Amino acid sequence: MAFSDKQATPQKQAVKSERMRSAILDKAVGRLAELGYHATSIKKIAAEGGFSIGALQHHFPSKEELMVAVVEKALERAERYVLRFVERGHTNLGSVIEASWDEQINSPWYKAMLEIFVAARTDEALRARVAPAIERYSRETEARLSHLLAPETGGDKATFLLKVSRCMLGGFMVQDALAMPRAEISAFIRRWAEFLDANLKGNANG
Amino acid sequence: MAFSDKQATPQKQAVKSERMRSAILDKAVGRLAELGYHATSIKKIAAEGGFSIGALQHHFPSKEELMVAVVEKALERAERYVLRFVERGHTNLGSVIEASWDEQINSPWYKAMLEIFVAARTDEALRARVAPAIERYSRETEARLSHLLAPETGGDKATFLLKVSRCMLGGFMVQDALAMPRAEISAFIRRWAEFLDANLKGNANG
DNA sequence: GAAAAAAATACGTATGTATGGTTTTTTATT
DNA sequence: AATAAAAAACCATACATACGTATTTTTTTC
């Protein structure tokens, strides 16, 4: 018993630590999605999350460190989402995109990531930390998808249109969706999904 | 002489005022594009522009007022740009888009507008002021373009793909272009332009 | 001399981080 | 096995700085 205690307890700290880290990240994402980058402060995250500034600083020594961690976790989630879709056999891009609009783009994690991306455009140090994660995600996901998505068309065109769709949804949310009623938004997304499928089924060039 | 002076000068104040207004807007755009929304302060604009905070406050009583003015002027410029293109007879969307990437999306005015859009997502008051301008721009531009762009296809599909392109370029700049070498960026844009033209020349369904 | 424009300063608030102290968990010693 | 030392996790406060705006004063235009 004493023996097993000594072997079991050494993980207690690591578990607690990981739990706190995760809680901080969740709160950070919530605040970023709701308030935006420039209104999301370390103090607000701590206060609203119920943990101290000291604890936050211990796990993420600076705001930059925290933001990088958010992006990395958000990209992991996005990667898992797309792969899960494809591995289930949904090879038509249209339905993937239409579902992504609700479940991905409009999720707190994506919105938080977007805030950080925009901040990174004008923050050299932040961009240098974030860019590799984006690049890796983009490369790996596309490589894995290229032979899974619509294999009869070679996958190349599908991969291209997936990237286009990703950009399109992101830009749409930032620009147009800001001033558009819900019904129009989903109609627009649906039309794009239909356009995609029609374009991928018909021919194999591209 | 005194008489002619009195008649010539009554516009002096209005001219000066307009000049100052325009100078402030230009500096604001420059700072927004370079530093981002949260690092663009009234004080920095004033200091770097060489005018006092009082002058700035006189023309734009609040930061929100200034941001709204930037968006309105930016949208005017964007509208003029597209219309000029089409009125010159460039009816193939691909070339419009390819040129837009360099001349529009990567211009300070667009970058500044994007910063404000993103800020507006989480700033209810700002969004309420900005949304009508976006909506008007979107509506009017598309209405005027729908019968000018690729009229043989009915214009509807072309208008749709123009909107898609706008969103795509915006999202691309925010997300992917952040971590992409220049050569890859322009290759991607070119491929999209070619895809557009192929898609609009071939058939008229959509 | 009245009005508009521009300037200067002051105020309250919030930010990110550095610092020093407390508690909890782990490791080492006996 | 018990306990002391070390390390990791957590906490509270202080500091320098920057923000947007309100206020008051000066200058320019009419």
For the stretch A136-176, pLDDT in tens is 999 888 888 777 776 665 678 888 999 999 999 999 999 99
Total number of residues shown for chain A = 206
Q: How many CB atoms lie within 10 A of CB A147?
A: 13
Per-residue confidence at B186, pLDDT binned at 50, 70, 90?
A: very high
Given a cut of 70, whether residue A188 has pLDDT beyond it is: yes
Q: Is the CB of B122 under 7 A from strand C?
A: no
Contact residues, chain A, for B195 at CB < 8 Å: 160, 206
| Protein-contacted bases of chain C (C-beta within 7 A) | 4-10, 14-21, 25-27
User: For residue range A89-114, what is the model confidence (pLDDT) as tens digits?
Assistant: 777 889 989 999 999 999 999 999 99
* The pLDDT of residue A145: 78
As a whole number of angstroms, the distance between CA A141 and CA A144 comes to 5
pTM score, whole prediction: 0.91
* Residue of chain B whose Cα is closest to the Cα of A194: B206
As a whole number of angstroms, the distance between CA A53 and CA A43 comes to 6
Q: Is A150 left (phi over 0), alpha (psi -120 to 50) or beta?
A: left
- Which of A169 and B142 is assigned the larger pLDDT? A169
Q: Is the CB of B57 under 7 A from strand C?
A: yes
Task: Quote the minimal CA–CA distance from A114 to chain B in Å.
Answer: 8
3-state helix, strand, coil split of chain A in percent (to 5) is 85, 0, 15
* The pLDDT of residue A204: 43
* The pLDDT of residue B145: 78
Q: Is B36 left (phi over 0), alpha (psi -120 to 50) or beta?
A: left
Class of residue A175 by CB neighbours under 10 A (exposed 0-12, middle 13-18, buried 19+): buried
* A–B CB contacts, 8 A cutoff, strictly below: 133
* The pLDDT of residue A123: 96
